[in-house]
Amino acid sequence: MKNMRLLVKPLVTRLLKGNLLSLLALVTVVFGVVACSEKTTQLETTKTKVVENHLHDNTPPKVSKWTKSPTVLVFSKTNEWRHNEGIAAADLHFVRLAQKFNYGIFTTTNGAIFNDLDLKKFDVVVFNNATGDVLSKEQEQSFERWLTNGGAWIGLHGSGDHSQKDWQWYQSTLIGPKFIGHPNNPHLQEAKVVNLAAEHPVMKGIPASWMAFDEWYSFDGVPQSYGLTPLAGVDESTYVAVLNIDEFPAKGDLRMGSKPEQHPIIWSKCIGKGRAVYSALGHHDRVYDDKIYSQLLDNAFTWVTQINGANSLGCEK
């Protein structure tokens, strides 16, 4: 009997362990499926998390001496809204774009890289949905010097959401009009984007209009008022431009005008010897699958970097 118990006990323990493991595996699978399906449905509607972190960085990341030259710096520090999907997709897009144009690439969320010495290592800076007060005064001034002395800048979506309002040069010279809100119900919508500057190198090969799926920003004015050149606008008759969230001052009607010229969403500027393009598109990763938008970003890249010629259209002589 004693021997029997000695034999049975390990068997029961093994069975129990086996069942427990099976149970655990089952629970994991069930939760995995639930979490996965939630994530899938959220793709259409999720609003990104607010990250309340107003810290500035003091120690720059080490840029390897092996980094290829010329090089792109992609910066995605967020002290406010973090566009998780949009940031990841834009990072990947610019890795591919850099490869295509034989550039190196360095991605970081560390704002301390904005110092005179490190910025010299880069030929293009992309603000990939950088939001909030991400740079110290000194870091901001380093970037201003770098850009006006012949740098190249591309700003994506959240980088123009007015959350960097304490940096006056950035808001009024680089971005221009103030972001006032975006529709929330429905949030992401398909709308018609219209080419406003067919002769501009950034819009070369881009059709007169195309449909895009995104979160559509509205602004308190047009970029022309700030000396910026509108390149594309959105046709408000093709989506619902209404916001119903209390914390936004522009709650309600977000329409800027019946003509796409009255509602620009992509624009450019020559700043000193530097060039800049801002695009309000890119809330979601889906826009980076769009061949037309990819072409537009390629064009923006070759224009801001002056690969297509220092005398190319788009800057006053």
Give the interface with Zn ion as residue ranges (CB under 5 A): 215, 283
CB of 162 to Zn ion, least distance (A): 12
Nearer to Zn ion, 26 or 50 (CB): 50
Rounded to an integer, what distance in angstroms lies between the CA atom of residue 137 and that of residue 153?
19
A 10 A CB-CB count for 193 gives 26
Distance between CA 204 and CA 198 in Å, rounded?
6
Q: Is the peptide bond before 186 cis (omega within 30 degrees of 0)?
A: yes
Q: Name which of 144 and 161 has its Cβ closer to Zn ion.
A: 161
Identify which of residues 84 and 306 has a Cβ nearer to Zn ion in the complex. Answer: 84
Question: What's the CA gap between 239 and 263, in Å, rounded?
Answer: 13
Sign of the C-alpha dihedral computed for residues 98, 104, 107 and 108 taken in this order: negative
Closer residue to Zn ion in complex, CB, 160/274? 160
79/302 with CB nearer Zn ion: 79
Minimum distance from CB of 48 to Zn ion (Å)?
7
**Shortest reach from residue 76's CB to Zn ion, in Å:** 13
Whose Cβ is closer to Zn ion: residue 203's or residue 212's? 212
- What is the nearest approach in angstroms of Zn ion to the Cβ of residue 151? 25
Minimum CB–partner distance for residue 286 and Zn ion (Å) = 12
Query: Which position's Cβ is nearest Zn ion?
Result: 283
Instruction: For residue 140, give the H/E element and its range.
Output: helix 137-148
Separation of alpha carbons 220 and 176, rounded Å: 10
User: Are β-strands 218-219 and 179-181 bridged in parallel, bridged antiparallel, or unpaired?
Assistant: antiparallel
Give min distance, CB of 120 to Zn ion, in A: 32
Q: Which residue has the tokens 């826009």?
A: 287
At CA 37, angle to CA 49 and CA 158, rounded to 5?
25
Smallest distance, Zn ion to C-beta of residue 86, A: 7
114 or 127: CB nearest Zn ion: 127
DSSP, collapsed to helix, strand or coil, labels residue 25 as helix
The conformation of residue 101, written as its DSSP 8-state character, comes to T
Backbone angles phi, psi at 283, to 5 degrees: -65, -40
The secondary structure of 227-257, three-state, reads CCEEEEEEEHHHCCCEECCCCCCCCEECCCC
Q: Minimum Å distance from CB 282 to Zn ion?
A: 8
Q: Which pair of tokens denotes residue 268?
A: 């450019």
